[in-house]
Amino acid sequence: MAAPVHVLQLKLDDLIDVPIRTVIIAGWTGRDQAALQKHIAELEALGVKPPTSTPIFYRVAASRLTTAPVIEVTGESSSGEVEFVLLHHGGRLWVGIGSDHTDRDVETYNITVSKQMCEKPVSGEFWEISSVAEHWDSLVLRSYVHEAGERTLYQEGPLSAMLSPAELLSCWRAPLEEGTLMFCGTLAAHGGIRPSSSFEFELEDPILERRLSHAYDILSLPVAG
């Protein structure tokens, strides 16, 4: 049975409808082992068991992807995390950014289920990866949370801290098929993983002086029982 197709309107060369069939979440993709262990430790502090191997790959429904400015979650235990994302469309590979928004309570007993619990916001614009390939390690991921009325830097670091696309796809052991989007791992959070009422994230290209960005609010729905 063919997977359902989820269509997002994205700006690639132009603003177009992009059909997506497969979404992969790559976890624990740090190139820097010290930084990787730091992220594993902060998840262990929340009760999340360490991975049996790194990197590791999860699947989520393509329908979880969104470019909307608001998402709805159950309860108040979820949080976002900035990641670069790879997209195969039109026979070409593109890079954007996304937030692997995750229910942290569910994550303590089943990581795969936790990945499916929340929508996955992504940027509305992508760059062709060939335009940044020569200065890939100079790109910078960054995210902000809003706490007590203040905008606070939550994550920041260069892509040199993460496995490169070639290394990651080598671990995946297959090229990305047409219509596939892959989240490619995150950075440790300043001050630890925690929820917030809104989440901003960006990918900065300091060489070409441009950036991809997206922001969304988190609406927590009550837990009745």
Determine the Cα–Cα distance for residues 34 and 81; give it in Å rounded to an integer. 19
Question: For residue range 75-105, what is the model confidence (pLDDT) as tens digits?
Answer: 999 999 999 999 999 999 999 999 999 999 9
Enclosing domain of residue 55: 20-220
**In which region does residue 101 sit, left (phi positive, over 0), alpha (psi from -120 to 50) or beta (all else)?**
beta
Residue 80 has a pLDDT of 97
Number of domains in the chain: 1
Residue 12: inside a domain, yes or no? Answer: no
Q: Which residues of the chain have pLDDT under 70?
A: none
The rounded distance, in Å, linking the Cα atoms of 214 and 108 is: 28
Does 2 map to a domain?
no
Cα–Cα dist 44/38, whole Å: 10
CATH of the domain at 114: 3.90.850.10
Residue 14 lies in a domain: no
Say if 6 falls within a structural domain. Answer: no
